[in-house]
C-alpha cells in the first residue's frame, strides 16, 4: 500500500457453530450475493448467472475445495438465482477423505465460506468508485473456502435432524430475513 492508506477488513462469522448435523453431508448457502462489492471490488449483478446455468446445468458446475481442480469433494444438488444471490445446495461425498474432513470442520463452524470460479463474459467499470459490475458470467465451479472473497458468501445451513420447535424457529428466521433483506 502507498500513501499510508489501509483497508479495513471485515470478518463475518456464524453466530454459533452448526454442531448437530446428519451424516449425509448436505448443506446450503449463498455462493454469491447480488449488488455487494467483494474484497476485489467486483459486484455481481442479478441475472449474471442465468445463461451459464441454462447452458451448463447443475451437473457441469464442480464442487471443489479451495478452488483446487484436483480436489473435487462432492456435487451440487441445486444452483439457482433468487432475489438475494446465487443460492446453492450441495452434498459432500463422504466416501472421500477430504470431504469427511471438511464436513467435520463445517460441523464445528471452522469452515463456512463459499466462492465462485467463473469467466467474465460482460462487465462494466464504474468510475470513480473503481467497482466492476459483473453482468454476465460463465460459472464453472463453486468452492468451499476458508476465506471467501465476498465475506457474506457462506454456508448457511448444514442439514441435520431437527425437532419441530427448531423447524418452526428456522421458518420464522427465514421469513424475517426475506422481509428485512
The low-confidence residues of the chain, meaning pLDDT below 50, are 1-3, 5, 9-22, 160-163
What pLDDT score does 18 carry? 40
46 is catalytic: no
Spatial contact of 145 and 115, defined as CB atoms under 8 Å apart:
yes
Which residue in this structure is represented by grid cell 464442480? Answer: 62
**Separation of alpha carbons 139 and 153, rounded Å:** 15
Catalytic residue among 32, 52, 115, 143: 115
- Count of Cβ atoms closer than 10 Å to residue 46 Cβ: 14
What tens digit of pLDDT does each residue of 68-105 get?
Answer: 999 999 999 999 999 999 999 999 999 999 999 999 99
pTM: 0.76
What pLDDT score does 1 carry? 41
What pLDDT score does 15 carry? 40
Spatial contact of 141 and 64, defined as CB atoms under 8 Å apart:
yes
Catalytic residue among 67, 81, 135, 156: 67
What pLDDT score does 173 carry? 72
What pLDDT score does 177 carry? 67
67 is catalytic: yes
Domains of the chain: 26-180 (3.20.16.10)
Catalytic residue among 32, 103, 141, 143: 141
Q: Could you write out the DSSP letters of every residue in 84-149?
A: SEEEEEEEE-TTSHHHHHHHHHHHHTS--EEEEEEEEEEEEE-TTT--EEEEEEEEEEEEEESS-S
103 is catalytic: no
**Separation of alpha carbons 29 and 116, rounded Å:** 13
Amino acid at each position: 500500500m502507498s500513501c499510508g492508506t489501509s483497508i479495513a477488513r471485515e470478518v463475518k462469522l456464524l453466530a454459533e457453530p452448526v454442531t448437530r448435523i446428519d451424516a449425509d453431508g448436505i448443506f446450503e448457502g449463498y455462493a454469491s450475493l447480488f449488488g455487494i462489492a467483494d474484497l476485489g471490488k467486483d459486484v455481481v449483478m442479478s441475472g449474471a448467472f442465468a445463461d451459464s446455468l441454462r447452458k451448463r446445468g447443475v451437473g457441469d458446475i464442480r464442487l471443489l475445495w479451495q478452488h483446487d481442480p484436483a480436489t473435487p469433494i462432492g456435487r451440487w444438488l441445486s444452483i439457482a438465482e433468487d432475489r438475494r444471490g446465487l443460492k446453492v445446495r450441495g452434498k459432500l461425498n463422504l466416501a472421500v477423505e477430504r470431504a469427511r474432513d471438511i464436513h467435520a470442520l463445517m460441523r464445528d463452524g471452522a469452515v463456512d465460506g463459499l466462492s465462485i470460479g467463473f469467466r467474465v463474459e460482460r462487465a462494466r467499470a464504474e468510475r470513480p468508485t473503481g467497482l466492476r459490475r459483473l453482468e454476465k458470467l460463465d460459472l464453472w465451479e463453486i468452492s468451499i473456502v476458508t476465506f471467501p472473497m465476498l465475506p457474506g458468501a457462506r454456508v448457511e445451513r448444514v442439514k441435520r435432524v431437527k425437532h419441530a420447535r427448531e423447524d418452526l424457529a428456522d421458518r420464522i428466521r427465514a421469513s424475517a430475513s426475506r422481509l428485512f433483506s
